[in-house]
Amino acid sequence: MAYPPSPFAPDHFPTLPPVPGVRLSACEAGVRYSGRLDLMLAEFAPNTVVGGVMTKSTTAGAPVDWNRTALKNGSARALVVNSGNANVFTGQRGRDAVEKTANAVSEAINCDQSDVFVCSTGTIGEYLLEDRITAKISDLTSTLADAAWEQAATAIMTTDTYPKGAVRTAEIDGTTVTLVGIAKGSGMIAPDMATMLSYVMTDAALSPEVAQNVITKGANKSFNAITIDSDTSTSDTLLLFATGQADHAPVTEIGEQRIHAFEAALDDLLIDLAHQVVKDGEGAQKFVEIQVTGAESDDAARRMGLAIGNSPLVKTAIAGADANWGRIVMAIGKAGEKADRDKLAIAIGGFQITKDGEPIPGYDESPVTEHMQGRDIELEIDVGIGNGQATVWTCDLTHGYIDINADYRT
Amino acid sequence: MAYPPSPFAPDHFPTLPPVPGVRLSACEAGVRYSGRLDLMLAEFAPNTVVGGVMTKSTTAGAPVDWNRTALKNGSARALVVNSGNANVFTGQRGRDAVEKTANAVSEAINCDQSDVFVCSTGTIGEYLLEDRITAKISDLTSTLADAAWEQAATAIMTTDTYPKGAVRTAEIDGTTVTLVGIAKGSGMIAPDMATMLSYVMTDAALSPEVAQNVITKGANKSFNAITIDSDTSTSDTLLLFATGQADHAPVTEIGEQRIHAFEAALDDLLIDLAHQVVKDGEGAQKFVEIQVTGAESDDAARRMGLAIGNSPLVKTAIAGADANWGRIVMAIGKAGEKADRDKLAIAIGGFQITKDGEPIPGYDESPVTEHMQGRDIELEIDVGIGNGQATVWTCDLTHGYIDINADYRT
């Protein structure tokens, strides 16, 4: 399972501060992997609220079903996550495994079972040996620490080549609140949802309705705007835990002015994490930003951006540093959104290539090719028919993706 | 442009008989390639009717626009096709190039310009040097021959590694009619349409309405049920030319009993050609048949089959002979069609793997892995909720696809 690290891998995990009301631990449970962290626990102070969004897959795993139900209460006391086995397509045994895990955690930290969130990521269709998890709960609770972010982010990795974390702060009523997030990718990544697992913890005081509102909106601008391979996971889960330990009056109304700075910080944090997921996409060698403007609507722009970002022909051309913009034309054409071929304008790396549906006279490909040889690729498409716009991020499609995925389970 | 031949490449091009009323020729025009056939002409007897279906891309090329208009008359006297340049996204110059080409052919064979069909396949966004084509029209008309199928099928190839052709016969009112088809792929292949270019010629006597009806129905069972890479070409064109030289009363009513055998032969021919396109898919090493049953409707079954056939994770697992059926579960889940995880049954190579939403007790993977190591892979999915069914064909996703497409234009 050792793949070459992404060229975007940072030198070290960022320094992330504690979030009041959150304690973390991780351990080696041997669920599938050996000799590495594969199980994490987060414990939240009483009165922590939670909001979240999950995969739209119709074949979602047992943990997703569990969390969907648990989300209805809006309260959370713990999150337990294992890697190596997704506990998907495992029938009644899979449901039992989730319940036993939640039960063990609820007993250990003395909370309601319905306040325990359970996630699993890894291979589909193999029974989860939950006793390997439950046997470790007392170890986990006895080692809970304030800022064990790196251990937690490492424990949830599958084919990720580096742990992913980020921090932002914001003010609510003059009080500084902290937001820390972790995430894991790194294949089977496409809306909706785009990441497999991501968790954001904050000490802000929010009502469950507000937490749900801000995480849903934030997801659409971040994890739902990235794609690695067009495949949607059966386990995708994004959760926002707000402990309410910060010293400000709770935000209880959706859209309150007081929460705007928090929302901006959350969006920024989620985009940062989403970019980290793309940059660690399986086999990724290049990070691609696709800006679509002039579409019929923002949704149409996003779907066009995703059609480009999902196109194997566009992605292989980028892998080969080939400024084959004709494939962008093709991808726009297949997006199923309103377009007028004769109004389409395309730029790569800031160099305008086409206008009014044909190449610009005297178009010189050499600076574009130079841009394509870099790590960060920028595509700009103006559809020319409206005001809709969106930004989508993806990576290239390389031999590394095939190396990793032709032989994932062995 | 020399790639290793597909492992499915036949030893030789099939022997295809003449079709009364059809003459063919091909030559080296040097449109882009040198030292190979890249231009073909087919001449049809007076009173030939035509039906066809074309790409749904909103950025289709100038030839597609031309043919869409020409199809309205329902009559055809000639077809001219070049490879190497798709004449897409080339603005007014592209439209002029089509018209000049059609004009040169109409003068050479003395017919209306609107009875000339013009197709181009190859790179997008480069101006077509149509004088290289028009300069060759007299050569082409002077060398027209009865059964130059192999030359014609070769001239339309791009990254194809072998020319594709097939023949069927059928009886109408006791008279035997012949159907010969040629096709080219072999990337940017997905519904709708699934092939880039395919032409079927027959001596049957059909009204234009009947020709249109049978080719549309046939396309849905064949070229619209295959996928290589989920990318839809800007040039996809399937045309049926019926010369009416066979000695039977014309078929003028859609759905007439007299034409059922012809329709069955046409469907069978189109499926044969579609399979040839898949088997020569860029980098293809395995041919995959996906049978979906028990879906809500036939359309839902087809979309589920295509979700599986388009999944990079399924296709790379097949490339690696990995019986990773969990990815089939994932692909069903992302198809956007009604499904019940707990009713899903999956078999590979005839070996039942799951039932009622979980692995069958005692499931032994070894015979499945053995099947996966072969060239022909069979996936069967029963959704368990209705009577809809469909069959979809695809190939695996290999390093060869990336080799070919990371560097297509150089």
Q: Do B405 and A316 touch (CB under 8 A)?
A: yes
Chain B closest CA to A257's CA: distance in Å?
A: 37
Q: Which residue has the higher pLDDT, A272 or B5?
A: A272
Question: Which of A316, A325, A406 is the closest to B406 by Cβ?
Answer: A316
CA-CA distances (angstroms) from residue A94 to A63, A112, A125? Answer: 8, 20, 10
Q: What's the CA gap between B101 and B87, in Å, rounded?
A: 12
**Chain B nearest C-alpha distance from A188 (Å):** 7
Over pLDDT 90: what percentage of chain A? 71
Mean pLDDT of A243-255: 96
Task: Tell me which of B359 and A191 has the higher pLDDT.
Answer: B359
B358: chain A residues, CB-CB within 8 Å = 89-94, 125
Give the C-alpha separation, A121 to A235, whole Å: 7
Q: Which of residues 42-81 of A touch B (CB under 8 A)?
A: 55-60
- Which pLDDT belongs to residue B187? 64
Instruction: Provide the pLDDT for residue B194.
Output: 39
Confidence (pLDDT) at A313: 87
Beta-bridged to residue A379, according to DSSP, are A290, A348
Name the residue facing A358 among B89, B190, B358 (closest C-beta): B89
Question: Which of B32, B88, B89 has the most A C-beta neighbours within 10 Å, making it the best mutation to test the interface with A?
Answer: B89
Number of Cβ within 10 Å of residue B225's Cβ equals 24
Q: Which residues of A touch B123 (CB under 8 A)?
A: 326
B 7-46: CB under 8 A from A: none
d(CA A22, nearest CA chain B) in Å: 33
Instruction: Answer whether A59 sits within 8 Å of B330, measured CB to CB.
Output: yes
| Band of residue A407 on the pLDDT scale cut at 50, 70, 90 | low
Task: Tell me whether residues A333 and B86 touch, CB distance under 8 A.
Answer: no
**Per-residue pLDDT tens digits for A91-134:** 899 999 999 999 999 999 999 999 999 999 988 888 999 999 99
Tell me whether residues A329 and B59 touch, CB distance under 8 A.
yes
CA A313 to chain B, closest CA, distance in angstroms equals 6
ipTM confidence? 0.81
Task: Output the pLDDT for position A235.
Answer: 80
Q: Which residues of A touch B88 (CB under 8 A)?
A: 326, 329
Model pLDDT, residue B2? 59
| B354 with A89: Cβ contact below 8 A | yes
Phi, psi of B144, rounded to the nearest 5 degrees: -60, 135
User: Rounded mean pLDDT of B58-82?
Assistant: 94
Mutate to test the interface with A, among B402, B403, B404, B408 (most CBs of A within 10 A): B402
- pLDDT tens column, A70-95: 999 999 999 999 999 999 888 899 99
Closest CA to B404 of B288, B311, B318, B285: B285
Of A232 and B106, the one with more pLDDT = B106
Instruction: Supply the pLDDT for residue A196.
Output: 77
- DSSP string spanning B248-293? SPPB-STT-GGGHHHHHHHHHHHHHHHHHHHHTSTT---EEEEEEE
Question: Active site residue: B159, B195, B227, B234, which one?
Answer: B195
Lowest mean pLDDT among A3-7, A214-218, B327-331: A3-7
Provide the chain B residues 253-292 that lie in CB contact (below 8 A) with chain A: none
Judge whether residue B288 has pLDDT over 90: yes
Among the options A101, A121, A141, A195, which is catalytic?
A195
Minimal Cα distance from B318: which residue of A? A406
User: CB contact, 8 Å: B226 with chain A?
Assistant: no
Domains, chain A? 22-279 (3.60.70.12), 287-405 (3.10.20.340)
* Contacting residues of A for B311, CB less than 8 Å apart: 230-231
**Is it the case that residue A23 has pLDDT exceeding 60?**
yes
At B192, the pLDDT band (50, 70, 90 cuts) reads very low
Asked if A341 and B89 come within 8 Å (Cβ–Cβ), the reply is: yes
User: Where does the pLDDT of residue B182 fall: very low under 50, low under 70, confident under 90, or very high at 90 and above?
Assistant: very high
- Give the pLDDT confidence score for residue B191 in this predicted structure: 40
**pLDDT, mean over chain A:** 91
Residues from chain A that touch B59, judged by Cβ atoms under 8 A, are: 329-330, 332-333, 339, 341, 344
Higher-pLDDT residue of B408, A353: A353
Q: Cα–Cα distance between B134 and B142 in angstroms, integer?
A: 14
Query: Is the pLDDT at A236 greater than 90, yes or no?
Result: no
Instruction: Tell me how far apart the alpha carbons of residues A280 and A6 are, in angstroms, rounded to a whole number.
Output: 6
Q: Report DSSP state, residue B115.
A: G
Pick the range with the lowest mean pLDDT from A227-231, B97-101, B350-354.
A227-231
A341 and B401 within 8 Å at the Cβ level: the answer is: no
Chain B partners within 8 Å of A91 (Cβ): 342, 356-358
pLDDT over 60 (residue A1): no
* A 132-161: CB under 8 A from B: none
Higher pLDDT, B290 or B224: B290
For A143-162, the pLDDT digits (tens) are 999 999 999 999 999 888 89
Contact A89 B344 (CB under 8 A): yes
pLDDT at residue number A188: 61
A320 touches chain B (CB under 8 A): yes
Best of B3, B58, B363 to disrupt the A interface (most A CBs within 10 Å) is B58
Report B:76-105 residues touching A (Cβ under 8 A): 86, 88-94
Residue of B nearest to A334 (CA): B57
* HSE value, Cβ hemisphere, 13 Å, CA-based, for A372: 23
Highest mean pLDDT among A5-9, A197-201, B94-98: B94-98
pLDDT of residue B403: 84
B125 to A356: CB separation less than 8 angstroms, yes or no: no
pLDDT at A197: 87
- Tokens coding A19: 């979030």
pTM: 0.85
pLDDT: which is higher, B41 or B159:
B41
More confident site: A12 or A232: A12
User: Which residues 335-374 of B have a C-beta within 8 angstroms of A?
Assistant: 335, 337-342, 344, 354, 356-359
Nearest-by-Cβ selection for B329 from A125, A334, A341: A125
Our CA-based measurement puts residue B182 at a distance from the nearest CA of chain A, in whole angstroms, of 24
Q: Which of A123, A317, A358 sits opposite B406 (nearest CB)?
A: A317
Measured in angstroms, the CA of A227 and the nearest CA of chain B are apart by 12
Size of interface A-B (CB pairs under 8 A): 212
pLDDT for A220? 85
pLDDT tens by residue, A273-323: 999 988 988 888 999 999 999 999 999 999 999 999 988 889 999 999 999
Q: How far is CA A39 from the centre of its chain?
A: 19
Preceding omega of A186 cis (within 30 degrees of 0): yes
Cβ of A144: how many Cβ atoms within 10 Å? 15
Yes or no: say if A190 and A274 are a contact pair by the CB < 8 Å rule.
no
A406 contacts in chain B (CB < 8 Å): 316-317, 319-320, 322
CB-based contact, A409 to chain B, within 8 Å: yes
For residue A138, the tally of other CB atoms under 10 A from its CB is 12
A195 is catalytic: yes
User: Partners of A50 in the beta sheet?
Assistant: A241
Lowest mean pLDDT segment, chosen from A186-195, A362-371, B275-284: A186-195
Residues 233-252 of A with CB under 8 A from B: 233-234
DSSP state of B404: H
Task: State the pLDDT at residue A194.
Answer: 39
All residues at 6 or more sequence positions from B182 whose CB lies less than 8 Å from its CB, including other chains = B149, B152, B153, B156, B163, B164, B165, B198, B199, B273
Contacts of B408 in chain A (CB under 8 A): 317, 322, 324
* Largest pairwise CA distance in chain B: 72
CB A88 to CB B326 under 8 A?
yes
Classify residue A142 by burial, with Cβ atoms within 10 Å: 0-12, 13-18, 19+.
Answer: exposed
Whether B358 and A405 lie within 8 Å, measured CB to CB: no
Cβ distance of A317 and B90 shorter than 8 Å: no
Residues of B whose CB is below 8 A from A313? 187-188, 229, 231, 405
- Does A313 contact B187 at a Cβ distance shorter than 8 Å? yes
- Range in B117-121, B145-149, B233-237 with the lowest mean pLDDT: B233-237
Instruction: Tell me the pLDDT tens digit for each residue of B228-283.
Output: 776 777 788 899 999 999 999 999 999 999 999 999 999 999 999 999 998 988 88
Taking the C-alpha atoms of residue A112 and residue A208, their distance in angstroms, rounded to an integer, is 17
